Amino acid sequence: MRTEVVTATLAEVTEKGYDGLTVDAVAARSGVHKATLYRRWGGVDGLVAEALTASADQPWPLPDTGDLAGDLRLITREVFAVFTDPDLGPTPTALIAAAQRSDTGATALRAFFTARHRQAATVAERAIERGELPAGTDGAEVVRAATAPLYYRLFVSGEPLDARTAERAADAAALAARAGLFAPEAD
């Protein structure tokens, strides 16, 4: 049932946005009874949160090029590719915008990004093992540094995002990490 509900929520929020999202439409689309949706998820904000939780749970293959900058470039290239793709981009874009509209959604959004950062931090941990980065480097922070310039354009400044920007953000984060900026010693 959860899969049907999440799929229906994603389709509805992509087509209609948060303002057009209703429990009725998710019920009709998923085939799950409205009363069940309200009982289990409380309303549209709970449905948006569930969709984010389901996204965070999905396996997400991490690059392993043997080089931090190479791995970070593949991560930022993936963010760039997904969000700027006319078919793939609208759903995560609508989901993030919808999540920002309620406390329930915002809490799920923060948990989603924290989980993603923690997962992707593996590329920094491997770099520490290779001796490419100082021990104690905050891997999640390296990932945030690499991806923040992309999300900043996509969701805050609205300025255009291109492949070169994505690559440069990865290179800048790798450079800062190698210089020890994300290690405790830098304090």
> Please, which of residues 29-58 interact with a second copy by CB under 8 A?
none
Find the part of the chain contacting a second copy (CB under 8 A) among 36-44, 58-66, 92-100, 126-134: 92-100
Burial class (CB in 10 A: 0-12, 13-18, 19+), 69: buried
Q: How far is the CB of 32 from a second copy (least distance, A)?
A: 28
Q: How far is the CB of 91 from a second copy (least distance, A)?
A: 16
Contact 154, 176 (CB under 8 A): no
Residue placing its CB nearer to a second copy in the complex, 7 or 78:
78
Residue placing its CB nearer to a second copy in the complex, 126 or 153:
153
Find the part of the chain contacting a second copy (CB under 8 A) among 20-28, 39-47, 80-88, 140-148: 140-148
123 contributes a contact to a second copy by CB under 8 A: no
Q: How far is the CB of 164 from a second copy (least distance, A)?
A: 7
Helix/strand/coil for 172? helix
Spell out the long-range contacts of 8-13 with Cβ–Cβ below 8 A and sequence spacing 24 or more.
8/32, 9/47, 9/48, 9/50, 9/51, 10/51, 10/91, 10/95, 13/48, 13/51, 13/91, 13/94, 13/95, 13/98
DSSP string across 22-37: -HHHHHHHHT--HHHH
163 contributes a contact to a second copy by CB under 8 A: no
95 contributes a contact to a second copy by CB under 8 A: no
Measured at the alpha carbon of residue 38, what is the angle toward residues 33 and 40, in degrees to the nearest 5?
95
Q: Which residues bind a second copy (CB under 8 A)?
A: 96-97, 100, 106-107, 109-110, 113-114, 117, 141, 144-145, 147-149, 151-153, 155-159, 164-165, 168-169, 171-173, 175-176, 179, 181-182, 186-187
